[in-house]
A and B are shown apart, each in its own frame.
Chain A
Amino acid sequence: MSDKSLTRNATDKILVLKDLVIHYETDEEVVEAVNGIELELEKGKVLGLVGETGAGKTTTALGIMGLLPPKVGHVVQGSIWLEGEDLLRKTEKEMRSVRGKRISMIFQDPMTALNPVKTVGDQIAEVVLLHNHCSKAEAMKRAQDMLAMVGIVPERYKEYPHQFSGGMKQRIVIAIALACEPDLLIADEPTTALDVTIQAQILDMMRKLQKDKGTSMILITHDLGVVAEMCDDVAVMYAGQIVEYGPLEEVFDHPKHPYTRALYKSIPSLDKDVERLHVIPGLVPDPANLPAYCSFYERCQEKCDKCREFEPWAVEAAPGHVAKCIQYTPEWPQDVKKGGEE
Chain B
Amino acid sequence: MAKMHTPAMERIERKNAKRKKPVNSTPAYESWKRFKRNPTALIGLVVVIILILIAIFAPLIAPYDYQAQDYTAMMQAPSSAHWFGTDQFGRDIFSRCIYGARYSLLIALFCTIAALFSGGLLGIIAGYFGGRVDTVIMRIMDIFQAIPMIMMAMCIVAVLGNGIPQLVAAIMFASMPTMARNNRAAILRVRGADYIESSEAIGVGQVQMILKHMIPNAVGVMIIYFVGFLAVSIMMMSSMSYIGVGLAAPTPEWGLILNDGKSYMTTAPYMMLFPALMIMITCFAFNLMGDGLRDAFDPRLK
Contact = CB atoms under 8 A, between A and B. Distances in A.
Interface stretch (A29-37, A125-133, A151-159, A165-173): A29-37
A35 to B, nearest CB: 6
Nearest to A35: B1
B1 A241 contact: yes
Interface string B1-36: 111101011001000000000000000000000000
A268 interface: no
Nearest to B10: A30
Interface residues of B, number: 8
SS class, residues of chain B in contact with chain A: loop
Interface in A11-46: 21, 23, 25, 27-30, 32, 35-36
A233 interface: no
B2 A76 contact: no
A292 to B, nearest CB: 5
Contacts of B1: 1, 35-36, 241, 311, 313, 339-340, 342
Contacts of A292: 2-3
A55 to B, nearest CB: 15
Name the interface size band of chain A. Answer: 20 to 34
Contacts of A341: 2
A67 interface: no
Contacts of A36: 1
Contacts of A21: 4
Nearest to B3: A292
B4 A28 contact: no
A27 B2 CA distance: 23
A342 B12 contact: no
Contact of A29 (B2, B4, B6, B12): B12
19 contacts: A1-B1, A21-B4, A23-B6, A27-B12, A30-B8, A30-B9, A30-B12, A32-B4, A76-B6, A241-B1, A290-B3, A292-B3, A310-B2, A311-B2, A313-B1, A340-B2, A341-B2, A342-B1, A342-B4
> Nearest 4 A-B pairs (CB), nearest first?
A25-B8, A36-B1, A292-B3, A30-B9
Interface of A: 1, 21, 23, 25, 27-30, 32, 35-36, 74, 76, 241, 290, 292, 310-311, 313, 339-342
